[in-house]
């Protein structure tokens, strides 16, 4: 079992450029989460999917961030345009449906915006 897979692991871009992160959850996990972890902070939830549906995107900055999970399996998180303050680690996690207390995390994507 590979666990939650994320790519790329590292990304360096200049401000105002677009960037996308990809996540493949554990097989059979209906629920997928995207978190942002700023330096020195704990992860903060950006969006939660139940299958294809985004059921909690209240913390997603919708002016520049978007996410999709078209077939209810893997997911993409996009930032366009990126700002300096977006530098962070973006974590993907997955769980069985409604098993919010048993999330499995991916290795994360470290984004640096110059």
Partner 1 sequence: AQRVTQPEKLLSVFKGAPVELKCNYSYSGSPELFWYVQYSRQRLQLLLRHISRESIKGFTADLNKGETSFHLKKPFAQEEDSAMYYCAVQGAQKLVFGQGTRLTINP
Q: Where on the chain is the footprint of partner 1 (CB under 8 A)?
A: 3-4, 40-45, 48, 56, 91, 98, 100-108
**Least distance from C-beta 20 to partner 1, angstroms?**
21
Complex with partner 1: residue 17 or 30, whichever CB lies closer = 30
| Distance separating alpha carbons of residues 76 and 97, to the nearest angstrom | 19
* Count of CA atoms in the C-beta half-sphere (13 A) of 110: 3
Task: Please state the closest distance from residue 52 (CB atom) to partner 1, in A.
Answer: 17
Kindly tell me which of 14 and 102 has the beta carbon lying closer to partner 1. Answer: 102
Shortest distance in whole angstroms from residue 61 CB to partner 1: 17
CB of 19 to partner 1, least distance (A): 21
Spatial CB neighbours of 105, under 8 Å, sequence gap ≥ 6: 4, 91, 92, 93
């Amino acid at each position: 079992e590979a666990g939650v897979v994320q790519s790329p692991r590292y990304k360096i871009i200049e401000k105002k450029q677009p960037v996308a992160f990809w996540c493949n959850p554990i097989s059979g996990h209906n629920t997928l989460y995207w978190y942002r972890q700023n330096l020195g902070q704990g992860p903060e939830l950006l969006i939660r999917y139940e299958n294809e549906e985004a059921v909690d995107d209240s913390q997603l900055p919708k002016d520049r961030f978007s996410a999709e999970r078209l077939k209810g399996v893997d997911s993409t998180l996009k930032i366009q345009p990126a700002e300096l303050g977006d530098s962070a680690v973006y974590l993907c996690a997955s769980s069985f449906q409604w098993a919010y207390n048993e999330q499995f995390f991916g290795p994360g994507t470290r984004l640096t915006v110059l």
